[in-house]
Amino acid sequence: MGPASRHDTRALRRRLVEVLRADGHLHSERVSAALEAVPRELFVPGVDLEEVYRSADAIVTKRVDGVGVSSASAPNVMAIMLEQLDAQPGHRVLEIGAGTGYNAALLAHIVGPTGSVTTLDIDEDIVAAAKDHLRAAGFPTVRALVRDGALGCPERSADSALESECERTFDRIMLTVGSRDIAPAWREQLRPDGRLVLPLRIRGPQRSIAFRPEDHHLVSISVQACAFIPLRGLLAGPTVLVESGPRGTLSVTPPDDTFSLPSERIAHWLRQPRERWLTGVSATLDDIRDALHVWLVVHEPTVCMVYAEAGDSAVPDLFGTTERIRGSVGVVAPDGIALLGWATGHELYVEAAPDSAIQAERLVGVVRDWHTAGRPGDGQLQVRAYPRGQAAMPESDEAVVDERWTRFLISWRGARQPPATLTV
């Protein structure tokens, strides 16, 4: 589609809102009005309008060494997260991950002239472009600052008279980048009756979680599936690149920062002939994405994520092959690696070399435990988040995931058998 008039783009925005409502991603009038009012094409100039207004399409806007580091998030995900945030007129909002500036503009429309929006990004060029887009769209009062989002918004800034001061606290804090932890600054800068929404990377898979403060910790009130470009800077997660010969390069997201296996050893395991261990558990793609994935990473401390090019058979296709990427979940240890795959008829299997049988059996066991527990999924997921220095003992049905600054206590409502308490 070529250039369009304002009338045409208003029609596209109305159609987008209708689609988001029909799909169940959009409910409130405030978020709907913002999506109808703010022209998304002003934030992604040069992109075809049909692509701009596709509800499920993110648009990568910056790459470094071929890897996307900034994007305009898919409208359906943005709608979900804005609903989770529940910003109100007059609220002070902090956004971490300025991107194109589009989400900040939506927030500014929602909070209105009596509210304020501050958006942060680690890259000067991204912030500069976001400011240009915000001015062009009629939102010059949104503060866009160059900051490492892990530090939140400092009390004072010398960028300009407009940006001379950030609020000490915010009614709402929202991340539009994936994070594996909750930084102390976000807790400190959130009002006692506020709300924090972030794509939390739970040792691999991401979930958009809305938290509210409660008795010196945070409690989840909403959990939704999502996928965001990860934070860079202090909260950047580890990634290991593995050269797998003529098949190309694999990307391995290890369990934690202590992962020290050389990439050559992983490549050696993946080149070996492998056997299959059947789990006896069948699942749909939605079961895997929205239920089993989080269960695996919470209950098995050595789980890693492995991604490869779509045609690379070294990695079983667990999540459904996209045009470019296929991926799986694996158990990795100094003496072997096992990967989870999908067999004909949707039975889950584990693939590993014969000398990695221990890892294979562990992975089979966790899959079977999930099935025995009633196959709990995101709709039952509950997360409590405590500062690491605070005594936080899990209940009998909670598993523990420790990160640098936060202890996460994770449970599933209605699971038939409580998961064994596990510190990761």
Among all residues, which ones are annotated catalytic?
73
Residue showing tokens 């994520």? 305
**Helix and strand element counts for the chain (H, E):** 11, 19
Which one, of 238, 293, 252, 245, lies nearest residue 271 by Cα?
245
For strand 381-387 and strand 406-412, is the pairing parallel, antiparallel, or unpaired?
antiparallel
Residue showing tokens 């809102």? 17
Which one, of 82, 72, 107, 102, lies nearest residue 92 by Cα?
107
Which residue type is seen at 208? S
For strand 92-96 and strand 116-121, is the pairing parallel, antiparallel, or unpaired?
parallel
Q: Angle 231-236-239 (CA atoms, 0-180°, nearest 5)? A: 120
Tokens of residue 43, six digits: 């934030």
Give the span between the Cα atoms of 159 and 153, in whole angstroms.
Answer: 13
Which one, of 71, 74, 60, lies nearest residue 25 by Cα?
74
